[in-house]
């Protein structure tokens, strides 16, 4: 699959099944991002970077493939970079920048979530100090919040350790030291 295939509605009959499947995947990722409160275009960019060949894409390539403005691509790649899902890179001998999925992005994102979970547990504990212990019906909401987050705070790091141990050596080496882009 080439790095670009315009997603113009008027050419839908001329698209191959593979192109339509790629387009559907990109849109599914975009909609999934929207479900968690992130911009659909950020999800569409991530969707394309997950399946693009080569794995690195320039802002112009992203704009062409996704039929988006360069301004939108710039804003959303900045957001995805801040979140830690993609990274800006360059190729030897070329002056333009490219974007690709950041190595270890999913593990790092999960570690960020663990930090957020700890924060929510601490907020619940702080709230519990404000509510009279003689009002169990009022405490129930905060106790549930605290209990769920305390459980996840304890279990998620253990799950991540098990996941890392299960990774094949070859995959882990590829993640630890990404191959040079050519």
The DSSP-derived string for 20-88 is HHHHHHHHHHHHHHHHTTS-HHHHHHHHHHHH-SSS-B-HHHHHHHHT--HHHHHHHHHHHHHHTSEEE
Average pLDDT over residues 95-110: 93
Alpha carbon distance 89, 173 (integer Å): 20
How far is CA 169 from each of CA 73, 110, 173, rounded to the nearest angstrom?
35, 21, 6
Alpha carbon distance 102, 89 (integer Å): 10
Which H or E element spans position 97?
Answer: strand 97-101
Unique residue bearing structure tokens 């190595």: 103
Of the chain, the percentage scoring pLDDT greater than 70 comes to: 85
Average pLDDT over residues 80-101: 94
Q: What is the CATH topology of the domain spanning 9-101?
A: Arc Repressor Mutant, subunit A (1.10.10)
Domain residue limits, the chain? 9-101, 105-176
Q: Which two tokens stand for residue 104?
A: 């270890």
Average pLDDT over residues 89-110: 93
Strongest mean pLDDT among 153-157, 171-175, 177-181 = 153-157
**Predicted local distance difference test score (pLDDT) of residue 132:** 82
For the chain, report the end-to-end CA distance as a whole number of angstroms.
Answer: 17
CATH architecture of 105-176: Orthogonal Bundle (1.10)
Sign of the dihedral defined by the CA atoms of residues 11, 17, 19, 20, in that order: positive
Q: Which two tokens stand for residue 13?
A: 């009959």
Check if 9-101 and 105-176 are the same fold.
no
| Contact between residue 56 and residue 181 where contact means Cβ atoms under 8 Å apart | yes
């Amino acid at each position: 699959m080439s790095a670009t295939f315009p997603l113009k509605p008027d050419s839908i009959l001329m698209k191959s099944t593979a192109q339509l499947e790629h387009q559907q995947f990109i849109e599914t990722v975009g909609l999934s991002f929207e479900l968690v409160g992130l911009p659909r275009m950020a999800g569409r960019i991530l969707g394309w970077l997950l399946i693009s060949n080569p794995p690195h894409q320039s802002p112009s390539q992203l704009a062409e493939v996704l039929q988006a403005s360069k301004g939108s691509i710039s804003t959303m790649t900045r957001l995805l970079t801040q979140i830690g899902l993609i990274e800006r890179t360059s190729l030897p001998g070329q002056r333009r920048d490219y974007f690709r999925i950041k190595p270890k992005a999913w593990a790092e994102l999960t570690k960020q979530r663990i930090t957020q979970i700890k924060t929510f547990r601490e907020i619940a504990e702080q709230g519990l100090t404000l509510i009279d212990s003689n009002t169990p019906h009022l405490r129930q909401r905060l106790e549930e919040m605290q209990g769920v987050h305390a459980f996840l705070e304890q279990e998620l790091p253990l799950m991540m350790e098990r996941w890392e141990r299960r990774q094949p050596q070859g995959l882990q080496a590829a993640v630890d030291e990404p191959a040079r882009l050519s």
